[in-house]
Every structure is written in C-alpha cells, then in structure tokens.
Structure 1
Amino acid sequence: MTGATNPLGEFLRARRELVTPEQAGIPVVGVRRVAGLRREEVAMLSGISSEYYLRLEQGRYRNPSVQVLEAIARVLQLDEETTAYLLGLVVAQPHVARRRRPARETVPGSLRAFVDGLGTPAFIEGRYLDVLAANPLAAALSPRLVVGANRLRDVFLDAEERALFVDWEAATEGLVASFRQSVGTSIDDPRCVELVGQLSIASPRFQRLWGRHDIGGRRGALMRFDHPVVGEINLHREKLVPAEAQNLTVAIYHADAGSPDADKLALLAASVQAVVGS
C-alpha cells in the first residue's frame, strides 16, 4: 500500500497521472484512455527513450542521473520541494534495509517553554504528526490539540475535528502533503506503514491523497475554522523547523492585528485564563 518496494515507480506513475496533455503542451486528438500523460509522452518531453522511462517506472533501473530526474521533474511540473523528494527517492535506495522502529521523539525543554509562553495557539508535532507538546490556547482552538493525539487520525477520522475546518478538503490536502514531506523516503518504516495502512482502510479520502504523492505543507497558510465558541475565525498558520530538533515542527496560529479574528482569539485566551484562574 505504501509502494515501499518501488517508491520511485509509484511516485512517477502518480505524478504523471496529474499532468494533463494541455498542461504539457501536447495536442489532444481523439479519445485518451489514460489519466494524465502517457509514459512515452513523459519520455519524449524529458529527452529520454520510452524504454528507459518504462524501466524507471517498473523499478528495473534504480540509478538514473540527477539530470534525467530533473528533466522528468520539469515535465511533471514539480515544485522545488517535490523535486527534492524525487531526487531523495534515488539517493535513499541503499538504505532500504534500515527498518527498525525509530526512537521515541522528545521535545527539548527550551522548545517546550517557548511554545508554552506564546500568547497564541501553538503546538509541536513529530515526524508522524503526533502532537508532542501544545499550549493551552491550542487546546482551546481544538480539544484534539493535546499531547498524545495524532493530527492525521484526528483530522481524517474525528467528526468534531472535521467540522472545525471550513474547508476540510483543502486542509486534508495540506496535511497529507506535509506528512509525506516529514517522513521523506522512509515510507517503509513500521510506524509509517501502520499509519498509512490504518488510514487508507478507514478513509477513502486519505487513500486518494496518499496516492497523489503531493509534497509540501511546511509553509504558511490561512486556516479557516468554524469554532463552537467564537464562530468563524481565520488564522495564519506558520510551520517552523527548530535548528536543534529538525525532526520536529512547531505550528503557530496568529491573527492579523486589530482584526475581528484577533478579537476572537483574545476571547479564547480570556476563556483559558478564566479556567486557569478558577
């Protein structure tokens, strides 16, 4: 289900199906029976033979040059992050034997204190999008933003968490792309296999998005929430990778100064203070 035996071929097939002939500048004549580009079209536009490209997709040739991969990336219209991921699939091939469960993720005390001291919702997630630390204002934004929760499971499988997002489909696209970027080429390690398997069975939406091989999500975004206390609130989300713990990501939500959203965020903060002071 994860495509661990041929990650390069799985990636190329998935991304090829997302590029239309029109986007690639190919005239469409008659009825096409494939989604996206044909193999021979990718090969032609990349300047390589059809047989060579076929071997890449089938996993029969696993050591293409960087120049070939970059040419294919241009045809598939990959952005910088996704191109880096494609290159990493080949670079990572010698390490596929490393399948031990990763060590338990921990948050440095200084980083935890930083998040706790922020006057805006913030939390720390690990490589598999587990919530490892969260401040009280994050939990006020969503009760699922607490230590021990997993963002993938909650956003895809928890009905209350889904209802929190005004545009749940856009949120799930970004979440899966972020997960792929976070795990990188280690999609065959036990925790990743477990998560992908469970979510693919429980959520057809996750299964479709995982099959797209989108990469990204560690960037700023405007998140729209339908909060049960303050109503619709629009918050900017930033994702930061700390220098001292690059397997972790700090997610911070903030509102435009002086906006109605800032007033609503202040109301949430006041409710947190009231609970703490009671």
Structure 2
Amino acid sequence: MANNAEEIKKFLRARRDAVRPSQVGLTNYPGRRVPGLRREEVAQLAGVSVDYYTRLEQGRLTSASEGVILSIAEALRLTQAETQYLRDLLRPQPRRSAEPAPPQQVRPALLRMLNGLHDQPAFVLGRRNEVLASNDLLDALFTPFNHRPPDERNLLRWMLLDPAARSLYLDWAQVTSEVVGVLRAEAGRNPHDPQIAEFVAELRAASPEFRTWWAERTVVERTWGSKRFNHPVVGRLDITYEALSLPGDPDQILFVYAGKTDDDLEKLRILASWYAQSMPRPTAAGEHTAQPQRDGADEQDARPA
C-alpha cells in the first residue's frame, strides 16, 4: 500500500467525490463542477477550518484527534468500516520493524473444532485472506484449500482468477468486490506490511476487476450475511455465515457457514457424503493429501487460498 500521506489523500478525495450535496442538505445547483462535495463544504460540515481540512486531504497532516476523525466521518457519510479505516490511516505509526511478521498458525484446539463441524463448512482466514485451515465440507463447497501447500492458498486470488469460482458464486462480482474491501481494511491496519503490498501488486497485474475495485477504495469488515451458490454437485445452495474474531489469535477470523433452509442443509449433507466418497482416505483440517475429483473432471482446477 502507498504511504499513509498518499493513501489519506486518495481516500478522502474518493469519499468526498462519492457524497452528493443533496445527501447532506446542500443545494446541487446547475453548473456545479465537482461530482461530490467541495473541500470547503466538508470543512463546514465537520466543523474544522478549510485550511485544516485542505492540509489533511493533501496529505500534509498524517494524524488527527478522535473528535476530528468522527466529525469528518459524519460529514463524508462514512460507514463504520470506513471510519475505522480513516482512524487507522491517521493514527501515529510505530517504528517499522525490520523483521517480517511470523507465519500465522491455527491452534490445534481450533483445528479440532473445525473437523467436528460435519454439517457446516468452516475455515479460518489470515490477514491477507489466506485460508489457514478448512474442514472437509468447506473444501467440498469451494476447492480443496486444506490439501494445498500453505504458500498456495488464498481465498481472494482464487475468487478473482479461477473460472470455477466465478461459476460457483451467483453474485460473484458483489461478493468478490467485498473481499477486496476487506483487504483494503487490512491494509489500513497494517500499512507497512510488505506482504500485503506484494499481494496487492500481484492482483493488480493479474486482474482488471481487482484494479477497478481497489481504486474505488471501498472498505468492508467481515460480519455476517448470506451467500448464493450454484454448485456443480448439488446445484443451487443458499447459506448464511458468521465471521467470528478470535481474541487470542490476532488477525485470524473464523467463518462458519450453515444451510439457509432445511433443503440447503440436506444439500450440504449430500455434498459431505460425496466428498467423503471422493477422498482416498479420511483427512483433517491442516493435513495435505490428494485432491478429490468431480464428475467429468480430470482434476479439480482451482487455486488454493
């Protein structure tokens, strides 16, 4: 990610352009030259001087008080996730460490929990959308993440670059753009993480959709919701999900899926049975083994996460 000053500048400008005058009670008179708000209007709405806001948006100020952050967030109609992103950008930055962050690992007790969820796909994501662990039903639903080498797993890379992912998600563009927004939030929390910067550069080079969504600077936090799939084995499948932070494991999120209806739950059971029969032997989250084959496919063609 760019340095904080540059990112502050681009983020505030993007959000300012996204707010229409009518949204904040201003008149959108004919001949107005800017698509969103002027700097003077943001300053007035936030209760700060025009000079102060101008310096902030130009990247000449790289910190602000909590009160100012909240006032600007209200003026720009920021979401909770966007407000936290702005807070992350404007917080004092610690001295950069020369040591790379240690590899993330999933606790054995959490792995056992994943393997005990037989009717619910479940997985743990790391700070760059790496699938750190997954149970068999998640692998059956998506692709065999759990059976790939650790350096070949990434949920977002798979969603962007594997045609199978585009076919699986009925709302592929919406869901994938939201995961890009999650990566944007993570980049704000870790602005000097070289691995995030390298990952962003990789995806910018490989995916035109990623370049578009990344430039929009939308910020998303994982919470809960639903997803719709068209799975090659069980057909239409709707699930609900919960994204659970793990307080004892920084930067790890546990995702648990459930069938939205009794029919969807039965399809997950069918999927689990199919996957168990496709596997050469029982496996557990964290093990690497041969990948299952779907009917009509020589080999599962999917990128790991």
1:159-174 matched pairs, under 5 angstroms: 159-174=163-178
Using the TM superposition, give the Cα deviation of residue 80 of structure 1 relative to its aligned residue in structure 2, in angstroms: 2.6
Give the conservation status (yes or no) of the 8 Å contact 2:4–2:89. Answer: no
1:102-113 matched pairs, under 5 angstroms: 102-113=101-112
Give the conservation status (yes or no) of the 8 Å contact 2:243–2:254. Answer: yes
% same residue: 35
Using the TM superposition, give the Cα deviation of residue 96 of structure 1 relative to its aligned residue in structure 2, in angstroms: 5.7
Q: Does the residue aligned with 1:226 lie in a helix, a strand or coil?
A: strand
CA distance in 2, matches of 1:263, 1:165: 19
Give the conservation status (yes or no) of the 8 Å contact 1:100–1:189. Answer: no
- TM-score, structure 1 as length reference: 0.91
Give the conservation status (yes or no) of the 8 Å contact 2:241–2:258. Answer: yes
Q: Which residue of 246, 265, 268 maps to 1:265?
A: 268
The answer to whether the aligner puts 1:197 opposite 2:196 as a matched pair is: no
Give the equivalent residue in structure 2 for 1:59: 59
CA distance in 2, matches of 1:99, 1:193: 16
The answer to whether the aligner puts 1:82 opposite 2:87 as a matched pair is: no
Give the equivalent residue in structure 2 for 1:213: 217
Using the TM superposition, give the Cα deviation of residue 75 of structure 1 relative to its aligned residue in structure 2, in angstroms: 1.0
Q: How many residues align?
A: 275
Using the TM superposition, give the Cα deviation of residue 266 of structure 1 relative to its aligned residue in structure 2, in angstroms: 1.4
Give the equivalent residue in structure 2 for 1:47: 47
Using the TM superposition, give the Cα deviation of residue 180 of structure 1 relative to its aligned residue in structure 2, in angstroms: 2.5
Give the equivalent residue in structure 1 for 2:242: 238
Using the TM superposition, give the Cα deviation of residue 253 of structure 1 relative to its aligned residue in structure 2, in angstroms: 1.1
Q: For residue 114 of structure 2, what is the amino acid of its counterpart?
A: V
Cα deviation digits, residues 182-214 of structure 1 (max 9, x gap): 343323321111111111222222222223333
Q: Does the residue aligned with 1:124 lie in a helix, a strand or coil?
A: strand
1:56-205 matched pairs, under 5 angstroms: 56-91=56-91, 93-95=92-94, 97-98=96-97, 100-119=99-118, 120-143=120-143, 145-146=145-146, 147=148, 148=150, 149-205=153-209
Using the TM superposition, give the Cα deviation of residue 43 of structure 1 relative to its aligned residue in structure 2, in angstroms: 1.3
Relative contact order: is structure 1 or structure 2 higher (C-alpha 8 Å, sep ≥ 6)? Answer: 2
CA distance in 1, matches of 2:3, 2:168: 34
Q: Does the residue aligned with 1:240 lie in a helix, a strand or coil?
A: strand
CA distance in 2, matches of 1:244, 1:28: 50
Cα deviation digits, residues 142-187 of structure 1 (max 9, x gap): 1153353101111111111121110112101221222233343323
Give the conservation status (yes or no) of the 8 Å contact 2:4–2:191. Answer: no
Q: For residue 268 of structure 2, what is the amino acid of its counterpart?
A: L
Cα deviation digits, residues 40-63 of structure 1 (max 9, x gap): 221121122222111001111223
Q: Does the residue aligned with 1:251 lie in a helix, a strand or coil?
A: strand
Q: Does the residue aligned with 1:184 lie in a helix, a strand or coil?
A: helix
